[in-house]
Structure 1
Amino acid sequence: MADMSEFDRIPRFADVRPEASVTALEQSAEQSVAARRRLAEVTGAAESPDGTVRAVVGGFGLQELVLDPKAMRKPSQDLAQLIVQVTQQAAEDLAQRRAEQAAELGVPGERPDLEQMLTDLARLRSTMAEGQGDARRVFERFRDQTRG
């Protein structure tokens, strides 16, 4: 009869499920893509105190600039400065709205460390490969022992 004690030395991997880690990473990536799309749609807006200049800013910069005809009566340098000021305020509004939306979506304030994620995936892949190799060697030994 074959020596079954070899099986007692097999590490117990009942709680380790590499496929669950992969699934979790895939779900996280899908959620990140969806959150990124929603955040890309967010805009910020601002208006000058006198209501003559209004700006809307999005992820790709200035999306809309509305100048009331009264604004055209201002000296050009004053108007240019007012446009810049209102656009900066709209950008600040965008940042605040994005932060609020990100919090609602559960997006962390910090960006994920992609290099660390790649390192973790490589380690997971290696662990899975080693585990399969170990199991294969044990089964081969068992097969060899049962034949002989």
Structure 2
Amino acid sequence: METKPLVVERIYNAPVLKVWRAITDKDQMKQWYFELEEFKAEKGFKFTFTGGDDKEQYLHECEVIAADPPHKLSYSWTYPKHNNGYSVVNWDLSEEGEKTRLRLTHEGLESFPKDHPSFAVSSFTQGWNAILGESLKKFVEEEKAG
């Protein structure tokens, strides 16, 4: 079975360094993403956070795989309570004049439980579209982020 990664692209009316800080500074991340106790864009850095919906919250365990400021960040994304799954989130940033193109690729979604609606590709698609298309967009374009 061939699987394709989930890809979401957005262009922000903000410079690449501002977007990079928004996706790597834990104090900024908690304003638009998730509440992370600690985060460092350094290979090997491990972090956790909790997120989900009204029905259930999930502990996420992640490890930074690659960081090339201010253009690339990759980390693993797993759920310890659902130990049969491993995915990778890639954030690729590129400058387009005064704007920034963000391409998020989430690979490995097919490794998560098939019988759980929270792990369906459609659920991840909806989540990433809201996070990138609404939360991050508002934060980097309207807020006084770094």
- Check whether TM > 0.5: no
Counting strand residues as a fraction of each chain, which structure ranks higher?
Answer: 2
* Larger of the two Rg values belongs to structure: 1
Compare relative contact order (CA 8 Å, sep 6+) and give the higher one, 1 or 2: 2
Counting helix residues as a fraction of each chain, which structure ranks higher?
Answer: 1
TM-score calculated relative to the size of structure 1: 0.25
